[in-house]
Amino acid sequence: MPVHTLPIHDDGTFNFLPPTSSVPHETVPHEDTISSAASLDNEMSSDAPPVSDSSPVSTSAQPIPPIRSVRSRQPPSYLKHYHCPTLPHVANLVQSDSKLLVAFVVLALASSFASASDPSPLQDFCVAIDDYKNGVFVNGKFCQDPKLATPDNFFFSGFNIPRNTSNPVGSTVTPVSVDQIPGLNTLGLFLARTDYAPYGQNPPHNHPRASEIIFVQEGTLYVGFVTSNPDNKLFTKILNKGDVFVFPFGLIHFQFNIGKTNAVSFSALSSQNPGVTTIANAVFGSNPPINPDVLARAFQLDQNVVKSLQAKFWWDNN
C-alpha cells in the first residue's frame, strides 16, 4: 500500500508551522513522521483479512486517513532565548519583588515626613507686603504683584555699621530677614550680624526653624552647642578671624567673646523666619511668669532664688 507522508523538502525536512504564521518556520527531520506513518500502515494491514492468491486484487488505492504532522519534542530555535521559569522560581521572584515594594513604600513614607524649614517656592520670587487686599497669601506673607517689584525689594544697606553693645549681655544682633528684605519671602534665607563687646556673649538660645553657619570677621569667639536628650553632649570650639562653625538645626548654642577687643560675626540661617528662643529669657522672663514651684523643682533651687531670677530684667539682644 502507498504510504501517505507530508511534503518533504529536498534537504529532508518539512514545515510543521502554517505558512501564514507570524512565527518563523522551523524545520525538523522527518524520521518521526515516516515512522508514524509506517506504524499506522502496519496496523491497518494487520486488521485487514488475508488475501489469497486466487482472490482478485483491486487496482484502486484504498483510502488512508490523513496523517497529522508530528512536532519535534525539542523547542523551536526561536524560543531558545526565552526563559521559562519554574514555579518555585516564580515564587522567589514574587517574594523578592514584594520585599522591594515594601522597602520602596517605607522610604516613600519616610521621605514624606522629611521636609525643609520652608516650602520650596513655586514662583521666581514673592515680595512680601502687608496689604492683603493687593496681594496673594504665600508662605507666611502676602505676595506683591511681580510686575510691581523693584530692585529695592531685594536690597539692604548698613551691615558694615557697628552696633551698640552697651547692654547686660554685651552683644547686639542685627537681623536681615524678610522684614528687612521683602524679596527674601519664600527663599529660605536669613542673614545676621552680631557685635560683641569684650567678654560679651550671645546667650544660650536656639532657632526652632533653622540651622546656622557662623563666620568670624573680627575677634576671638568661644562657641558651642548642646545635643538633645538624653546625651546633652557639649561641642565647643574657639574661633578666630576667618573661621567658620555650624550650629545644627534647633539645638541650643551660644557665642562668647573671650578677647579683650570687640568682635564681629556674620551668620546665615536656613529659613527666612528662623525664630529665636533665648533660654534664660523664656524660662525666667516669660509673660505671665511660670509658677515658681515648677521652676524650683525643675532646677532644684529654693523658691526664693527662683523668684529673684524671675524679678530680673532679661535683656533681648535681638
Q: Return binding residues for Mn(2+).
A: 205, 207, 212, 253
Sheet holding 141-143, edge to edge: 128-129, 141-143, 136-138
Q: Which residues are annotated as a binding site?
A: 202, 205, 207, 212, 253
Location of C-alpha cell 515648677: 294
Q: What are phi and psi of 85, to 5 degrees?
A: -70, 150
67 and 6 in contact (C-beta within 8 Å)? yes
- Rounded to whole angstroms, the Cα distance separating 181 from 187 reads 11
Q: Which residues are annotated as a binding site for oxalate?
A: 202, 207, 212
Location of C-alpha cell 551691615: 159
Pairing verdict, β 141-143 and 128-129: antiparallel
DSSP letter at 198 equals T
- Rounded to whole angstroms, the Cα distance separating 317 from 265 reads 14
Sheet holding 201-206, edge to edge: 234-239, 221-226, 252-257, 201-206, 277-278
Q: What are phi and psi of 196, to 5 degrees?
A: -125, 135
